[in-house]
Amino acid sequence: MNSALLVNIFRFIMLLAIQVVIFNNMNFLGYISPFPYLLYIILYPVNSNKSGLIISSFLLGLMMDMFCNSGGIHATACVILAYYRPYIFKFSFGLSYEYQTIKLNESLTPERFSFILVSVVLHHIVLFVLEAFEFRFIWDILLRTLFSSIFTIITSIIIIYLIKPSKR
């Protein structure tokens, strides 16, 4: 058992618990709730096992669906985000991202912010399209995506800097 795996399992359980207990009950204006549980996918180590990420994201989404009674929308959104994460890395950090040591939980540079932004928007668009499932709700989908993304990004950044390991 290496420590990275343990950290990931701990993150999985903690983020899911926080999401279910606190953030699922936040309904700003009746329909806007943040989804910081996808920090698990964002913070997953860059060069670790990719199929592990896809499977664990699927399980994470399935757990969320179980708690939200939402069929399979969280699972779909999580799997898509997990699969396209390397492409988002490439987009945000440039082609040679695999050779850099990317640590997301350090000071917020434009690259890191753009990575979080693209990931969150991708996840939310898939989520809300599948949730509404009908074309006549297109404005509703866009509005929900916009507002929920803003709240998710704010809460995610706050969580990242709250759990940041202290520097010596």
Instruction: Give the whole-angstrom CA distance, residue 157 versus residue 113.
Output: 9
Contact string 42-81 vs another protein (x = CB under 8 A): --------xx--xx--x--xx--xxxxxxxxx-xx--xx-
The answer to the question of residue 94 lying near another protein (CB under 8 A) is no
Any contact of residue 21 with another protein (CB under 8 A)?
Answer: yes
Task: Give the type of residue at 108.
Answer: L
Contact (CB, 8 A) for 38 and 160: no
Query: How big, in percent rounded to 5, are the helix, strand and coil portions of the chain?
Result: 75, 0, 25
- The DSSP bridge partners found for residue 32 are 28
Q: Does residue 33 bind another protein (CB under 8 A)?
A: yes
Q: How far is the CB of 16 from another protein (least distance, A)?
A: 10
- Residues in touch with another protein (CB under 8 A): 20-21, 27, 30-33, 50-51, 54-55, 58, 61-62, 65-73, 75-76, 79-80, 82-83, 130-133, 137, 140
